[in-house]
Amino acid sequence: MKTVIPLIAQLSEAETAAWLAALKPALPDCTLVLAADLTVAQRATVEVAIAANPDLADLLALPRLQWVQSLWAGVERLVAETAGAEFAVVKMSDPQLAATMAEAVLAWTLYLHRDMPRYQTQQRAQIWRQHFLPLPSQRTIGLLGLGDLGTQAAEKLVQQGFTVCGWSRTPRMIAGVETFSGEAGLNEVLQQSQIVVCLLPLTKTTHHRLNHQTLALLPPGASLINLARGAIVDTDALIKHLDCGHLSHAVLDVFDTEPLPPHSPLWHHPQITVLPHIAAPTNKQTAALVAADNINQFLSSGEIPPRVDRNLGY
Ligand code: NDP
Ligand code: OXD
């Protein structure tokens, strides 16, 4: 008999159908069922579920659940909402997602490196003025977070000729990147970064990690790119640093509240580029294969893939 794998998702009908279409061929030996369609007997057998913005009640209704495969790389909400639950959470760890994120990091780094916000402003005022362009090697980019996404992004920036430094919780080695860890390490990275890119997970420790004090460590004229989660940055502090001229620009893809509310001052701030959470959209085909590999491995060996550490929150 085929193993029943529920897809527990609060997505639009079209999105759900598209995920089912990607997952079904990747899991030919399993029966994929939406949470609402599980029979009582099926519910009692489920050991692994696939989740995307799940309703907590649907997960808690599975008495033998051992682990959940998230379709998203960011699992902060899932981990927080299921605190205390026995089952493991496995985040989406897809090399294609990391490549897409690295592309976004390069794109927005080049946007700042090539002074595009300034030339846009000049165009509006019909100003024809050229500014000095440093070599990429003369520009230090600091990456906060050197996990699946930060590592590939750092490598891409190195390939492009930038000087790259990075920060993680535990020490990491990446060829061509000066790496730091721990509290003192953050200070070092911020002090030398002309562009700082945030790819940290949102946890109790990283909440408002970029605040008035830490943003003050950045050199004058530095810029921020936040592609991780909004609440890692204290928005009020960021606005103050931009308004007083200490920082020159911020590219924000993620916000405390999404969609960004219409009354948010961020929409119209001249030194902020607002993006609607588009840095690294999950590719359903590649993500489905990653999820399927993890599930097939578990079904054949009983081994749960590397899981989120619930104490650390990522
Ligand atoms: P990983 O878990 O693979 O990596 C997290 C990195 O952050 C690790 O290097 C980790 O350190 C470091 N870190 C965690 N806590 C701390 C801390 N307290 N101090 C210093 N470093 C810390 O995550 P991913 O790379 O897969 O994803 C990062 C985040 O990107 C996701 O959590 C999600 O929020 C966001 N994201 C955004 C998307 C978008 O489209 N905007 C798309 C996908 C994800 P260590 O190496 O020591 O463990
Ligand atoms: C994700 C995201 O976590 O899009 O995959 O932020």
CA distances from 65 to 46, 60, 313 (A): 6, 8, 20
Using CA positions, which residue lies closest to atom 22 of ligand 1? 169
- Please report, to the nearest 10 degrees, the dihedral formed by the alpha carbons of residues 9, 312, 144, 279 taken in order: 0
130 with 225, same domain: the answer is yes
Asked if residue 82 belongs to a domain, the reply is: yes
- In tens, the pLDDT along 258-278 reads 999 999 999 999 999 999 999
Provide residues with CB under 6 Å of ligand 1: 73-74, 145-150, 167-170, 172, 199-203, 205-206, 227-229, 253-254, 277, 279-280, 314
Phi, psi of 202 (to 5 degrees): -85, 115
Asked if residue 308 belongs to a domain, the reply is: no
* Cα 203 to ligand 2 centre (Å): 15
135 with 151, same domain: the answer is yes
- In tens, the pLDDT along 92-117 reads 999 999 999 999 999 999 999 999 99
248 with 189, same domain: the answer is yes
HSE of 234, CA atoms in CB hemisphere, 13 A: 13
DSSP 179-208: EEEHHHHHHHHHHH-SEEEE-PPP-TTTTT
Percentage of the chain lying above the pLDDT 90 cut: 99
Asked if residue 309 belongs to a domain, the reply is: no
Provide the domain count of the chain: 2
Rounded-to-integer distance, Cα 186 and Cα 145, Å? 10
Residue 1: band (very low, low, confident or very high) from pLDDT cuts 50, 70, 90 = confident
Asked if residue 312 belongs to a domain, the reply is: no
The identity of residue 253, as a single letter, is D
Q: How far is C-alpha 217 from the chain's CA centre?
A: 24
- Please report, to the nearest 10 degrees, the dihedral formed by the alpha carbons of residues 193, 152, 181, 176 taken in order: -70
Asked if residue 52 belongs to a domain, the reply is: yes
State the DSSP H helix or E strand holding residue 293, giving kind and residue range, or none if neither.
helix 284-301
Give the domain CATH number at 220.
3.40.50.720
Asked if residue 307 belongs to a domain, the reply is: no
Closest approach atom of ligand 1 to CA 203: 15
Catalytic residue numbers read: 229, 277
101 with 89, same domain: the answer is no
Residues 307/92, Cβ–Cβ less than 8 Å: no
297 with 157, same domain: the answer is no
Using CA positions, which residue lies closest to atom 3 of ligand 2? 74
Asked if residue 107 belongs to a domain, the reply is: yes
Closest approach atom of ligand 1 to CA 146: 9
- 15, 50, 71, 72: which to mutate for ligand 2, most atoms within 8 A of CB? 72
Closest CA to 198 of 184, 221, 213, 214: 214
Asked if residue 306 belongs to a domain, the reply is: no
- In tens, the pLDDT along 171-211 reads 999 999 999 999 999 999 999 999 999 999 999 999 999 99
Domain that holds residue 194: 96-274
| Average pLDDT in the chain | 97
- In tens, the pLDDT along 8-52 reads 999 999 999 999 999 999 999 999 999 999 999 999 999 999 999
State the DSSP H helix or E strand holding residue 59, giving kind and residue range, or none if neither.
helix 56-60
147 with 265, same domain: the answer is yes
Peptide bond into 259 cis (omega under 30): yes
Q: Does the C-beta of 155 come closer than 6 Å to ligand 2? A: no
Rounded-to-integer distance, Cα 52 and Cα 8, Å? 6
88 with 140, same domain: the answer is no
123 with 180, same domain: the answer is yes
Q: How far is C-alpha 202 from the chain's CA centre?
A: 9
84 with 151, same domain: the answer is no
192 with 52, same domain: the answer is no
pLDDT at residue 312, as a whole number: 96
Rounded-to-integer distance, Cα 284 and Cα 302, Å? 25
158 with 137, same domain: the answer is yes
22 with 71, same domain: the answer is yes
| Nearest ligand to the CA atom of 232 | 1
- In tens, the pLDDT along 133-174 reads 999 999 999 999 999 999 999 999 999 999 999 999 999 999
Closest CA to 95 of 35, 152, 136, 46: 152
DSSP 92-134: ---HHHHHHHHHHHHHHHHHHHTTHHHHHHHHHTT--------
Residue 235, pLDDT above cutoff 90: yes
